[in-house]
């Protein structure tokens, strides 16, 4: 449902000389949703985010928030706040002063801004480290401080530029849970740029897949994963095979492919044990097809590279690709 608080991109374009980084984007980010901008590096997702934040000028088109075109406003007056990839914490300021920085720039008195900063630090569970310098914090702690610093400005939209990329995989999963919880509690929109499809699937209410300066597909995580529109989306989101049958291209989820007694004959090339399941890659004519087989099912009749197998799937699970 549309509300006045939505963030809308209207024919948004960014050119650097002759190259187009973002081409004619039109999209509505509904208020209070967790959106992931997903795509490979160089697809224009970061540029889009930076244009929304105001750190990159807009070549053409507009950015509308709350019914107002914000594309010419300075970053601090847009109602957005950005969390930077490297966190960009001021190394010479304590955690508290980092969070209170924007209030200090506005001329808020010391007691008031420290109070606001401390409240924000409590929200991200960092109140006990307020006196520390950023260099004395772990990566996860720095990330929380950066989050608190962005949120202290009471933004309507929080922009996160690959916020989890600097964390180790274990911490990443915990932090993304916290991000999601925070977004729900605050009820504001989060726009999160990432190139990790697992991150996007886990977090997003809406996934916007970008490639080559345009949006390839936008929709809920389930829509995008269950019905990729193009070959690019099917491949990038992972877990899909792209198969050519009778001149048309189809996406087929790897977990829908079975190793059966009869079906299409193929040769196993790679077997990877993944714990709960086994990833079997088989050569089917000119194509390679990936089958994710439940572990118990695989070991009932184990295969080795070079073995002949038959691949089978329900014809109804083939999803026709538009491009």
Question: Of 101 and 250, which has the nearer Cβ to another protein?
Answer: 101
- Beta strands across the sheet bearing 7-16: 19-29, 7-16, 60-65, 68-69
Least distance (Å) between residue 55 CB and another protein:
5
Binding span for another protein by CB under 8 A among 53-61, 187-195, 236-244, 249-257: 53-61
Interface stretch with another protein, choices 57-65, 84-92, 177-185, 215-223 (CB under 8 A): 84-92
CB 38 within 8 A of CB 207: yes
Q: How far is the CB of 153 from another protein (least distance, A)?
A: 7
CB of 84 or CB of 173, closer to another protein: 84
Q: For residues 302 and 279, give the distance between their C-alpha atoms in angstroms, rounded to a whole number.
A: 12
The answer to whether 17 contacts another protein (rule: CB under 8 A) is no
Does 65 participate in binding another protein (rule CB under 8 A)? no
Angle at 22 between CA 217 and CA 248, to 5 degrees: 35
Q: Considering the rule CB under 8 A, would residue 166 count as an interface residue with another protein? A: no
- CA 266, CA 271: separation in Å to the nearest integer? 14
CB 87 to another protein: min, Å: 9
Query: CA distances (Å), 204 to each of 27, 79, 173, 239, 255, in order?
Result: 16, 21, 14, 18, 22
Residue tagged 């990936």 (tokens): 290
Q: List the one residue out of 59, 41, 40, 39 whose CA is nearest residue 51.
A: 59
Question: Does the protein bind another protein through residue 92 (CB under 8 A)?
Answer: yes
Which residue's CB is nearer to another protein, number 149 or number 176?
149
In the numeric block, which tokens belong to residue 21?
């980084």
Among 42, 68, 105, 270, binds another protein (CB under 8 A): 105
**Rule CB under 8 A: is residue 154 a binding residue for another protein?**
no
* Options 22, 81, 193, 233; binder of another protein; rule CB under 8 A: 81
């Amino acid at each position: 449902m549309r509300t006045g608080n939505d963030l809308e991109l209207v024919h948004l374009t960014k050119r650097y000389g002759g190259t187009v980084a973002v081409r004619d984007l039109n999209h509505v980010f509904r208020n209070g949703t967790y959106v992931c901008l997903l795509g490979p590096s160089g697809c224009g997702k970061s540029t889009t985010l930076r244009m929304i934040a105001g750190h990159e000028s807009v070549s053409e088109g507009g950015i509308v928030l709350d019914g107002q075109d914000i594309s010419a406003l300075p970053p601090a007056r847009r109602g957005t706040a950005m969390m930077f990839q490297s966190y960009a914490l001021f190394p010479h300021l304590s955690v508290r002063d980092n969070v209170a920085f924007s209030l200090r720039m506005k001329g808020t008195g010391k007691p008031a801004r420290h109070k606001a900063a401390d409240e924000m630090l409590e929200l991200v569970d960092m109140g006990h480290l307020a006196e520390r310098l950023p260099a004395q914090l772990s990566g996860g702690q720095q990330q929380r401080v950066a989050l608190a610093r962005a949120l202290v400005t009471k933004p309507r939209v929080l922009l996160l530029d690959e916020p989890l990329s600097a964390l180790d995989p274990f911490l990443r999963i915990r932090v993304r849970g916290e991000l999601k919880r925070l977004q729900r509690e605050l009820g504001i929109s989060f726009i999160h740029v990432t190139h990790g499809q697992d991150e996007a699937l886990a977090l997003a209410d809406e996934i916007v897949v970008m490639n080559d300066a345009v949006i390839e597909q936008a929709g809920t995580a389930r829509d995008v994963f269950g019905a990729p529109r193009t070959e690019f989306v099917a491949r990038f989101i992972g877990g899909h095979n792209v198969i050519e049958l009778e001149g048309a291209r189809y996406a087929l989820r790897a977990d829908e492919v079975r190793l059966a007694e009869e079906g299409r004959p193929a040769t196993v090339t790679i077997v990877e044990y993944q714990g709960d399941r086994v990833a079997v890659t088989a050569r089917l004519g000119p194509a390679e097809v990936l089958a994710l087989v439940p572990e118990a099912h695989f070991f009932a009749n184990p295969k080795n590279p070079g073995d002949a197998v038959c691949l089978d799937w329900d014809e109804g699970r083939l999803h026709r690709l538009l491009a």
